[in-house]
Structures are given as structure tokens and as C-alpha cells.
């Protein structure tokens, strides 16, 4: 069994679909873990070790988000709660809003900040740091990116998070939310990181 540590059901579904060929039982676990670091890698490490300590077993955890150079790297590590971020102080005040609501508000805030910014300065990328840990030890780490740009408006009803406003380099002008799950997974940053994890897992079955 492998535990998946995340509070985001969209990530659970995506990871489970991508790891299905392993044939290993996956169990989601949700905890409220602070993410104080300024990099995805460090936040992912903190979360992976905390989740592994809680589950007592091998646990996948990750930290990911959207990076927009024209916005000085925002939303960055604050991607999950960008609508609640004070941009000046870089402090987040939790509003207690649901994931569905906060996702919509996050997208709206990005689009507002991007108003008047033309190509090629609408460039953006998704980044993920994915770790596998057991209590007290990181077993595997992978970092991957997916490049594209920010659309002028929200399009599509699929995916989650920033998918309705992110157009990939190879999606022929469609946002990730306009792609079916299979086509999105083939292009996603998470798929690239999980491909590396899949190879590691297939070579280390005794740990799972």
C-alpha cells in the first residue's frame, strides 16, 4: 500500500490514474500541514515527512503550483490560496472558503493581474516537486515542469486549480480544462514527475 498525502481531491484522482499500472493499493490521507517554505521542493519535503510520520508507511506527497514570470513568479508557492494572499507582505489569511470557491477566485485574481499584459509576457509554467517518504526518511524525489501561457479568459470545465486559464505549449490553443483527462495527463507536469517515480517504484517493489 502507498499513502497519498494531499488535501486536494483533484490531485488524488490524477495521481491514482497515473499510477494505476503499478497495481498497488493507494490510500488518500488528508492533514492540515503548514507550508512555510519559499520553494516547492522544501514544502514538499516538509509535507512528505509529516504525512509519512502520520501514516507510518510509504507516502507520496507533493507541492505544486503556477509560476508567472510577469508577476514576479506569483502565484508560486501560494498557488493554492492565492486569492487569500496579501501580495505585499506575502502572508496568507485563510478565508475558510471551499476548494471549489477558492480555485475560482484564484483564477479570477490571476486574470485581473494579467490584464493588459500581451504575449510573449503571458508565459507561465506549472511546477511540481514530488516526494516519496517513509517515517524519518525521503526515499525518492522528482521535480518537473510544464510550460505554456495564461489565457485571456477561463475556458473548459475539466481539471482543477488553474487548468481553466493555462494553455500548454502542445495543446493547440486549448486550456488544460478543455482537454479530457487522458490528454491532459499525457502533458502534465505531474505526469512527468510520476513517470520518474513509476520507474523508481518498479525497481523498488519491496519497499511498497
Active site residue 84: no
Does the predicted TM-score (pTM) go above 0.85?
Answer: yes
63, 84, 103, 163: which one is catalytic? 63
Please determine, looking at this structure, whether the domain spanning 2-207 carries the CATH number 3.90.950.10.
yes
Question: Nearest to residue 34, comparing CAs of 105, 91, 97, 101?
Answer: 91
Indicate whether 158 pLDDT > 90: yes
Mean pLDDT is lowest, of 13-17, 129-133, 149-153, 156-160, for 13-17
Contact assessment for residue 208 and residue 196, using Cβ atoms and an 8 Å cutoff: no
DSSP state of 66: E
| Whole-angstrom distance, CA of residue 177 vs CA of residue 165 | 8
> Which helix (H) or strand (E) segment is 178 a member of?
none
- pLDDT tens-digit readout, 40-58: 999 999 999 999 999 999 9
Cα-to-chain-centroid distance, residue 85: 18
For the chain, give every domain's residue range: 2-207
Cα-trace Rg, the chain: 17
Amino acid at each position: 500500500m502507498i499513502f497519498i498525502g494531499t488535501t486536494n481531491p483533484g490531485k488524488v484522482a490524477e495521481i491514482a490514474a497515473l499510477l494505476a499500472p503499478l497495481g498497488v493499493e493507494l490510500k488518500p490521507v488528508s492533514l492540515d500541514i503548514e507550508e512555510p517554505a519559499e520553494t516547492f521542493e522544501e514544502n514538499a519535503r516538509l509535507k512528505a515527512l509529516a504525512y509519512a510520520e502520520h501514516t507510518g508507511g510509504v507516502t507520496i506527497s507533493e507541492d505544486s503550483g503556477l509560476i508567472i514570470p510577469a508577476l514576479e513568479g506569483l502565484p508560486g508557492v501560494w498557488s493554492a490560496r492565492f486569492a487569500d494572499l496579501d501580495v505585499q507582505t506575502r502572508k496568507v489569511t485563510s478565508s475558510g472558503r471551499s476548494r471549489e470557491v477558492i480555485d475560482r477566485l484564484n483564477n479570477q485574481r490571476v486574470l485581473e493581474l494579467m490584464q493588459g499584459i500581451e504575449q510573449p509576457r503571458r508565459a507561465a509554467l506549472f511546477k511540481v516537486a514530488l516526494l516519496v517518504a517513509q517515517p524519518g526518511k525521503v526515499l525518492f524525489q522528482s521535480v518537473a515542469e510544464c510550460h505554456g501561457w495564461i489565457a485571456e479568459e477561463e475556458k473548459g470545465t475539466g481539471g482543477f486549480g488553474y487548468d481553466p486559464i493555462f494553455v500548454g505549449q502542445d495543446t493547440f490553443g486549448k486550456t488544460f480544462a478543455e482537454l479530457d483527462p487522458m490528454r491532459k495527463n499525457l502533458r502534465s507536469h505531474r505526469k512527468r514527475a510520476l513517470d520518474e517515480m513509476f520507474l523508481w517504484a518498479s525497481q523498488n517493489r519491496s519497499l511498497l
